[in-house]
Structure formats: C-alpha cells, structure tokens
Structure 1
Amino acid sequence: MEAIKFKTNIKCSGCVEKVTPHLDAAVGEQNWEVDLNDPAKVLTVTADTNEAKVKEALEKAGYKAEKV
C-alpha cells in the first residue's frame, strides 16, 4: 500500500490536536502524520483509505487538504 500525501492548511501543534480525533476516526490512530516543518504542512496517510474520506475528516475539523 502506498501512502497518500496532502498539502494542508494545518499550521501548528494546536491544529494537529484539533484534527486528531477526526483523522483517528477516519483512518485510524498511527496511520497519519503531519510534517509541521514542511512549508506545505504535508499530511501523510498510510492507511488503506481514499482521498475523499481524508478530506472530509479535515473539513469537519475546519481544515483543507489538496492531494500532492
């Protein structure tokens, strides 16, 4: 399985805390990670899921994602 990467508007660790329950519910704990050091704030999802499900979870938390 290949990881799916998204450019996001997540900016800080507080933002990560806000999206955590939504992403954990959508793709499972330990199946995603946000690189806050990357200027694009890349979210990497390693779970077997689809792009729409990840975007929906982020939108519920008030964030956006664009597949890279």
Structure 2
Amino acid sequence: MKDLQFKTNINCGGCVSKVTPVLNSTEGVQEWSVDTTQKDKVLTVKTDTLSANEIVATIEKAGFKAQPL
C-alpha cells in the first residue's frame, strides 16, 4: 500500500463533510485523512491501485483542488 499526499483547499469541517462521501465511495481508496490545521491542508490517501492523477480527479469532482506533494 502506498501513501499519496496532496496539498488541497479542503479547509474546514464542512469541506471534509462534502468530500467524505466521494472518497469513501471511490474504489481503491483504503483509508484517507486531511489535516485542516496545516497551512497546505494535506490530504493523505492510502491506496494500492490508484494513481495521484486519479485522486486529483476525484477531489476535483467533489469541487476541491488537489496538488500532489
């Protein structure tokens, strides 16, 4: 399993609640978390099968921005 990290604009509990159903329903996402206390709002995704580009597309589909770190 690999950990992929992204700089995001997911910056509050409301944002987390919007992205939660999208990430939870994405096949290949084993586990994820976002640290809204950091300046870069780092999203960490554990996956065996997804690429960084696929995660970025998923986050964008939820209405947020993500940039691989």
Question: Segments of 4+ in structure 1 off by > 3 A?
Answer: none
Q: CA deviation at 1:50?
A: 1.1
Distance 2:57 2:66 in 1: 9
* 3-state DSSP of counterpart to 1:46: strand
- Cα offsets for 1:30-63 (capped at 9, x unmatched): 6100001111000000122211221111111110
Higher strand share: 2
With normalisation by structure 2, the TM-score equals 0.86
1:12 aligned partner, one-letter code = C
* 3-state DSSP of counterpart to 1:23: helix
Identity of aligned residues (%): 46
With normalisation by structure 1, the TM-score equals 0.87
Instruction: Provide the residue aligned with 1:31 in structure 2.
Output: 31
Mark the runs of 5 or more structure 2 residues left unpaired by the alignment: none
2:53 aligned partner, one-letter code = A
State how 1:1-68 maps to structure 2 within 5 Å: 1-26=1-26, 27-28=28-29, 31-48=31-48, 49-68=50-69
Mark the runs of 5 or more structure 1 residues left unpaired by the alignment: none
Distance 1:38 1:13 in 2: 14
